[in-house]
Amino acid sequence: MISKGRYAPSPTGPLHRGNLRTALIAWLQSRLTDGAFILRIEDLDQPRVRAGSDLQIMDDLRWLGLEWDEGPDQGGSSGPYYQSQRGSSYQQVMDRLQEQGLTYGCGCSRKEISKALSAPHANPGVYPGTCRNRAGTSNREGRVLAHRFRLSSQPIRVVDEILPPRRYHPSQEVGDFIVQRADGLFAYQLAVVVDDAQMGVTDVVRGADLAESTVRQLSLYQALGLSPPRFWHLPVMVDGEGRRLSKRDGSGSITSDRKEGISPEKVVGQLAASLGLVPAGSLLSAVELAEELTIRQLRSRLRQAG
Ligand code: GLU
């Protein structure tokens, strides 16, 4: 089967170098396997979306030399490529999960959850299952509840192209998670699985800050009888003080670097060197970087960098 990769930014601000590095490696992975590359805009959480950020992201990616075969301005057989336009797909899957009894309504407030979690033996950060046996999707006052996915108690093995394999007990270590909020918004965990599966994505390359989400997503793949993609979780880029870069505070925004006249070859060289793919100081285009490496070399150098 031909491979299919994707880059799936949230349009919440200008891309920083960490985002760009993930995009570069996702693109590289698909080019080195002669695969197709998708750009998907993850604009589900509308209140966090910044108008025009999608166009800026596309402009910055193209400036870096990255092209996609399917995407918002490109079309393709598995569109639409904006999550905000894919609600009917999410609803269908949600209905299926509901019919299988795999979701339940939850009316717990944050305060109630943290109170239950402060009990001895509670696993920190894990939803304590308060509403697990609740029937119906609204509370006594008729208020619609959030929907949680009922995790199985079976262990799950997570394999990664870069990170070491790990065994999880999702129901104890992760906890039933929200798939649809009370306001009707579908959660990232559900949307990303539906999209990657419907778009035929075979390789998910993203930051290791999402590695913990993988176990939730694998549980959904399993419940839906879908085969999951391969995961490549890349090291997260940090600033000089060891802090994670953030889109919201505009740290290391590529848009401002561009204004100062930096060349794309310099940025590609710096990003690739930061993962040990090329020597420091290299100046090269994304296409030249793809000519320098094989997929095996990419995998082994990323493992060393991780
Ligand atoms: N939209 C997510 C982000 O920008 C990425 C999700 C993913 O790659 O699975 O952080």
Model confidence over 258-294: pLDDT tens digits? 988 999 999 999 999 999 999 999 999 999 999 999 9
Residues contacting 292, CB < 8 A, separation 6+: 277, 278, 284
What pTM did the predictor assign? 0.94
Instruction: Tell me, yes or no, whether 91 and 173 share the same domain.
Output: yes
Distance 228 CA to ligand 1 centre (A): 16
Residue 132: which CATH number?
3.40.50.620
Instruction: Tell me, yes or no, whether 220 and 289 share the same domain.
Output: yes
What are 77-136's pLDDT values in tens digits?
A: 999 999 999 999 999 999 999 999 999 999 888 777 777 666 666 666 789 888 998 777
User: Residue by residue, what is the 3-state secondary structure of 182-239?
Assistant: CCCCECHHHHHHHHHHHCCCCEEEEEHHHHHHHHHHHHHHHHCCCCCCEEEEECCCEC
Domain of residue 153, residue span? 87-189
Q: Which atom of ligand 1 is nearest to the CA of 7?
A: 8
* C-alpha dihedral (252, 258, 262, 266), degrees to nearest 10: 70
Distance 206 CA to ligand 1 centre (A): 7
Instruction: Tell me, yes or no, whether 27 and 123 share the same domain.
Output: no
Burial bucket for residue 95 (CB in 10 Å: 0-12, 13-18, 19+):
exposed
Structural domain total, the chain = 2
- Average of pLDDT values for 200-217? 95
Query: What percent of the chain is modeled with pLDDT above 90?
Result: 75
Ligand 1 neighbourhood includes 8 CB (under 6 angstroms): yes
CA distance 98 to 257: 48
For the chain, give the mean pLDDT: 92
Instruction: Tell me, yes or no, whether 50 and 120 share the same domain.
Output: no
**Which of residues 142, 168, 189 is at a domain's end?**
189
Q: Which atom of ligand 1 is nearest to the CA of 19?
A: 4
- Contact indicator for 234, 21 with CB cutoff of 8 Å: yes
Ligand 1 neighbourhood includes 206 CB (under 6 angstroms): yes
Residue 251 above 80 pLDDT? no
Ligand 1 neighbourhood includes 144 CB (under 6 angstroms): no
Ligand 1 neighbourhood includes 217 CB (under 6 angstroms): no
Distance 205 CA to ligand 1 centre (A): 10
Distance 90 CA to ligand 1 centre (A): 17
Q: Which residue has the tokens 């930051």?
A: 207
Q: Which atom of ligand 1 is nearest to the CA of 196?
A: 9
Q: Dig out the tokens for 105 from the structure.
A: 């309504």
